[in-house]
Amino acid sequence: MNKIKQLWKEIYGTSSDDKLQDFISEIETVKQEISIAPNEAEWYKDVTVYSIYVDLFNKNFQGLENKLDYLQELGVSCLWLLPILDSPGRDAGFDIKDYRKVRPDLLDFKPQDEVFDAFLEKAHQKGIKVLFDIAINHTSEEHPWFMESKKSKENAYRDYYIWEKDDKKYEDARIIFYGIEESNWKKEGDEYFFHRFFDFQPDLNYRNAQVLIQMTRNFLFWLKKGVDGFRADAIPYLWKEEGTDCENLPQTHNIVKFFRAVIDYVRPNTLLLAEACQKPKEVVKYFGN
């Protein structure tokens, strides 16, 4: 727990200590509620990983469950599920509109606990670990947070995203989809919101400590269900700082370390894999804890 507190201080100083204290109580509660055993140490070094789009492999989770024997015969011991969380699907599922719901079509439009939870249990019974993709730098513009954020400048979710009166801030941040996107800013009403990817994927504002808490809660939600790991998409862009290219900043590393520390405290040996499409000298900084 000391590591969690220290990382929080390195990110936010002491300005949000009250929020941290309340959140620590939540973390303790989740830790007590988890009844499943922790994973084996460094299990990821010895598994054979099979990466799939569930719908393209066999339609939905029921179809995937029906193929578990086949996958086991192939020697598969870990399934990496490409985006499964609820999404409009404008960016292959990396535009998430609900972090705690699986896409309804992958559930055959049945209750999530009846389908996904059952699949997860069956996979574990066969010795197969399960991890999935989660985009945490941005959301879909259809996410309830953003839907609320754009309604007014005074509501509680406004600061979940980055809003400015013009499009001049963060001029040193490259346009990742150059040729498709003209700018990292999109006008909404009389202000602009910031996005590093498509303009329907507004970037989250991790300067707001509540955003870090909410995203950590999403990890905790899936940990309680027994998910064995996460591939976190677009990690290098989490923190924005004027006068920089807004990539690989120290605060970004501390945010990832914060996720890692909370996960380790609640369910040790859960995999957290950071996607960092960067130069090798930057990539190596994401290894370890």
Helix (H) or strand (E) holding 274: strand 271-274
215 by Cβ neighbours in 10 Å (0-12 / 13-18 / 19+) ranks as buried
What is the spatial distance between Cα 2 and Cα 151, in angstroms, rounded to a whole number? Answer: 38
Q: What is the DSSP letter of 183?
A: -
Fold of 2-139+208-286: TIM Barrel (3.20.20)
175 contacts: CB under 8 Å, gap ≥ 6? 181, 182, 183, 184
In terms of DSSP bridges, do strands 78-81 and 85-86 run parallel, antiparallel, or are they unpaired? Answer: unpaired
Helix (H) or strand (E) holding 135: strand 129-135
Place of tokens 């399934």: 79
* 236 torsion bin: left (phi>0), alpha (psi -120 to 50), beta (else): alpha
Q: What is the DSSP letter of 150?
A: T
User: Which pTM does this prediction carry?
Assistant: 0.96
Q: Which sequence spans correspond to the domains of the chain?
A: 2-139+208-286, 144-194
Per-residue exposure over 267-287, b if at least 16 CB sit within 10 Å of its own CB, e if not = bebbbbbbebeeeeeeeeebe
What is the spatial distance between Cα 194 and Cα 172, in angstroms, rounded to a whole number? Answer: 13
pLDDT, mean of each 10-residue run, the chain (289 residues): 95 90 95 90 96 97 98 98 98 98 96 95 97 98 98 95 98 95 97 98 98 98 97 97 97 98 96 93 86
Give the model's pLDDT for residue 37: 84
Give the model's pLDDT for residue 287: 87
Q: Is 68 helix (H, G, I), strand (E, B) or coil?
A: helix
In terms of DSSP bridges, do strands 98-102 and 85-86 run parallel, antiparallel, or are they unpaired? Answer: antiparallel
What is the spatial distance between Cα 32 and Cα 197, in angstroms, rounded to a whole number? Answer: 38
Q: How many CB atoms lie within 10 A of CB 209?
A: 18
Return phi, psi of residue 99, to 5°: -75, -10
Task: Kindly list the catalytic residues.
Answer: 233, 275
Supply the CATH classification number for the domain 144-194.
3.90.400.10
Helix (H) or strand (E) holding 192: strand 191-194
Give the model's pLDDT for residue 289: 65
Q: Is 8 helix (H, G, I), strand (E, B) or coil?
A: helix
